[in-house]
Amino acid sequence: MSVSRRRFLATSAAAGTLGGSAPLVAGLGSVSQGQAVLPADTVKLRPEIEPLVQLIENTDRSRLMQVVGERIRGGLSYREVLTALLLAGVRNVQPRPSVGFKFHAVLVVNSAHIASLAAPEQDRWLPILWALDEFKSSQARDVQEGNWTMSPVDESGVPSSENLRDTFRESMKNWDVQLADVSAAGVARHLGAGEALELFSAYAARDFRSIGHKPIFLANAWRTLQTIGWQHSEPVLRSLAYAMLNHNGEPNPSQSDLAADRSWRVNQELQLQVREDWELGRIDDGAVSELVSLLHAGSPEDASRCVVEQLNSGVSFRSIYDGLHLAAGELLMRQAGIVSLHASTTTNALHFLFDHSASPSTRLALLLQNASFLPQFRDAMKNRGAVNEAGIHDLKALDKNASVSLESIFSDVGKVRQRAGEQVLTWLENGNSISSLTNAARRLVFLKGNDSHDYKFSSAVLEDCMKLSPQHRNRFMAASSWMLQGSSFPTNSLVDQIREALG
C-alpha cells in the first residue's frame, strides 16, 4: 500500500522511544543485504554502503520503516542511514524536468539532518526516517516518469588531474552535459572538498531556473558530504552537475539570450565596478532599510546596482545580507506560499556558499545574484495570486502588557498569520529566549510537518535567524512565522509505522 507522507510524527512521548531502547515488534524476519542484483548499467557505489542502498531501493514503502527499524535495533548507525539516503536519491531520482518536485527527496536530506542535529537525542531519528519515506514517494514518481537511474561514468572521458579544472569550467560555460558528467567524476577523484565547492559555486547561481534549487542542491549536498565523508562524493557531484545544467528544454543558454540568464550577465559587468576592498566595511542599519525598501518594488538590476553602490560607499556585506534576509522574510508576509518560501531557502543557500567560498570574485557574484533573485521571486509570486503591500518594518509588537506565550503564538501560526507575527515580535522584544521559540518551532515540524518544504524552510530560517545582526533578528523571526507549522495543524501519522518498527 502507499503510505501517506503524513504518517511520520506523533507525540514527543512516542518520539522518546526512537533511540531503540524498546523491543521491536515481534515477528519481523531477517532481510538480506543482497536482496537484488544491481543492473550492469547502474552506477555502483562503495561496497560498504551499496547493500544498504539496495535495501532501501528495493524494500516496499509500506515495509521500509519496519525493515530499517530492525537494522537500527541491530546496530545500524545514524550516519549509515544518512549516507544511504542521499546516495539512493542521487542514483534513482532524476533532476529533470526541473530541479525540484520529485527531486526534493534529495534536496531535503541536509535539511532533515540539520533538524536532527538540533533535536533532543531521543528525537534525532525522526527527520531522517521521515526523509526515507519521502525518498520512496519520489522513487515511485520517477518510475512513473521513465525510471531513470544514474549510469556508470564513461571512464575513457574522465579528464586527467592536470586538465580537470579547465575541463570542468569549459563544460559549465558551454552547458555540455556529457563533458560535465565526466568532469564532475574527476573533481570527486582528484580534488578536495573545498576546491570542489569553489568550482561549483562559481556556476550554481548563474540562472534563475528551478526557483533557486541549483544553489540549494549544491549547499545541501556539500554539507551532507561533510558528515558522511568525501569518499561518497562522486555520484553526488555527477548528479549536481547534471542538475546545474538543466535549462528546461530551452536552447543552449551559452548561445542564447534567455530571461533566466540576464541578471547574471548584468551582474558580471557590475561586478567590475566594485571597489577592490569591498570585503571591508561598516555595519549600517540605514543601508539595511534602504535595500529592503528597494527590493519591495525594484527590478533585478535595481537591486544589484543598489548593492554595488552600498559596497562602494563602505557598507559591510553583513548589513547587505541583513537586508536580503529581511526582504526574503517580507515576501512571506506579502504572499505566504511556495514561491516566497523558496526566496528564503535560496537566500539561505547563497549565504552559505558566500560564507564558504575563498574567492572574492565568486563571493561577490553570489551576493549580487542573491539581490537580483529576490525581485524575480516577487514577480513569480504574481502568477500564484495577489501580492499584498505588507512591509516587514511595518510589523508592530503588541502592547507590552499583552499576554503572549509560546502556546498562544503557535496556536495562531498558520491560521492568523499577522497576529502570530505580532506575538513573535512581542515575545522576543520582551526579552524572552529566542532559543525557546526556535526549539518549539522545530518540535512542531517533527509533529506536524508533512512535506519536504516544511523541513527545508524551517531548517533554513531557524539557522539564518542567528546569522542576522541582533537588531534585525526579532523582525526576521516574526516574518518567518508566516510559514512555520502551527500547533493546530494535523499531526503527521507516519509515526505509527515508526512505533511498529521501533517499539
How much is the pLDDT for 169? 98
Each residue's pLDDT tens digit, 161-213: 999 999 999 999 999 999 999 999 999 999 999 999 999 999 999 999 999 99
- Split at pLDDT 50, 70, 90, the class of 19 is very low
Rounded Cα gap, residues 455 and 33, in angstroms: 30
How much is the pLDDT for 495? 67
pLDDT at 15 over 50: no
Are the beta carbons of 372 and 303 closer than 8 angstroms? yes
Q: What is the mean pLDDT of residues 86-108?
A: 96
**Residue that is written with C-alpha cell 524575480 in the block:** 376
How much is the pLDDT for 167? 98
Q: What is the mean pLDDT of residues 365-386?
A: 98
Q: What is the mean pLDDT of residues 345-364?
A: 98
- As given in the structure block, the three cell numbers for residue 184 are 564532475
Q: Which residues of 407-419 are buried (b: 16+ CB within 10 A; e: fewer)?
A: ebbbbbbbeebeb
Rounded Cα gap, residues 126 and 501, in angstroms: 12
Record the pTM.
0.91
Handedness of CA 127, 373, 103, 155 (dihedral sign): negative
Q: What are the sequence ranges of the domains in the chain? A: 155-244, 297-390, 404-483
Q: Omega into 215 within 30° of 0, i.e. cis?
A: no
Q: What is the mean pLDDT of residues 136-142?
A: 96
How much is the pLDDT for 503? 65
Q: What is the mean pLDDT of residues 423-427?
A: 97
Q: Taking all residues of the chain, what is their mean pLDDT, rounded to a whole number? A: 91
Each residue's pLDDT tens digit, 218-257: 999 999 999 999 999 999 999 999 999 999 889 999 999 9
- Split at pLDDT 50, 70, 90, the class of 499 is low
pLDDT at 501 over 80: no
Are the beta carbons of 476 and 344 closer than 8 angstroms? no
Share of the chain above pLDDT 90, in %: 84
Provide the 10 A C-beta neighbour count for residue 207: 23
How much is the pLDDT for 400? 78
How much is the pLDDT for 26? 34
Contact residues for 288 (Cβ-Cβ < 8 A; gap 6+): 319, 320, 322, 323, 326, 472
pLDDT at 498 over 80: no
- As given in the structure block, the three cell numbers for residue 404 are 503572549
Each residue's pLDDT tens digit, 391-409: 999 999 999 788 999 999 9
How much is the pLDDT for 6? 35
Each residue's pLDDT tens digit, 40-95: 889 999 999 999 999 999 999 999 999 999 999 999 999 999 999 999 999 999 99
3 state SS of 7:
strand
How much is the pLDDT for 120? 83
C-alpha to C-alpha distances, 174 to 167, 203, 245, 339, nearest whole angstrom: 11, 12, 9, 29
How much is the pLDDT for 39? 75
pLDDT at 450 over 70: yes
